[in-house]
Amino acid sequence: MTALNAAGRVGATVLATVAISGFLTSGTAAAAPSTVPFQVDPVIPLVELPTPHLAATVGDQPGVAVLHVRRTPGDGNPHSAVVHWVSLGTGASGSASFPTLDAQPVTIRPGSGQVVAFVDPQAIGTPGFGTFFVP
């Protein structure tokens, strides 16, 4: 065996070892879930109806986001709000309804990409919106 063949075999062995070890140690890198508050809250001009503050939690599952009402101490029970959303990455769209501050979170499945959500406070105020990235 010549020195060139031996060097080639050693090089091939090293490359194979690196490739196999990289394959065995690779996995799905999961980011911790994060909550993204909507950037613009809707405005409801009536004093007795608090404004619904909404947020999206992303990163728990790929292609999935959870929309929810953010609750703070002293909040009353806001008028209902509907969130219409569209994924700029997949074209998927839908709506989520929040009848009260105590409404359950709504899971949406827009797929991976940037999502734009439009908050419609049921025609009694000024709409709000939020954008967030779904991994």
Q: pLDDT tens across 43-89, in order? A: 777 656 667 788 999 999 999 999 998 866 566 655 678 899 999 99
Distance of CA 121 to the CA centre of its chain: 22
Q: Return the structure tokens found at 121.
A: 């406070």
pLDDT at position 60 is 94
Read off the pLDDT of each residue in 32-36 and give the average, rounded to a whole number.
92
pLDDT at position 90 is 96
pLDDT at position 65 is 97
Q: What is the CA radius of gyration of the chain?
A: 24
For the chain, percent of residues with pLDDT exceeding 90: 41
Helix (H, G, I), strand (E, B) or coil at 33: coil
The pTM is what?
0.70
pLDDT at position 70 is 82
| Cβ neighbours for 93, distance < 8 A, ≥ 6 positions apart | 84, 85, 86, 87, 110
41 vs 31, 52, 56, 83, 130, CA distance in Å?
A: 27, 7, 13, 12, 8
Q: Measure the CA–CA gap between 1 and 18, rounded to whole angstroms.
A: 25
Going by the DSSP 8-state scheme, the letter that residue 40 receives in this structure is: B
Read off the pLDDT of each residue in 86-105 and give the average, rounded to a whole number.
89
Q: Are 80 and 122 in contact (CB under 8 A)?
A: yes
CATH 3.40.50.1100 is the classification of domain 34-134: no
pLDDT over 90 at 26, yes or no: no
Phi, psi of 50 (to 5 degrees): -60, 155
Going by the DSSP 8-state scheme, the letter that residue 104 receives in this structure is: P
Chain position carrying tokens 């394959």: 23
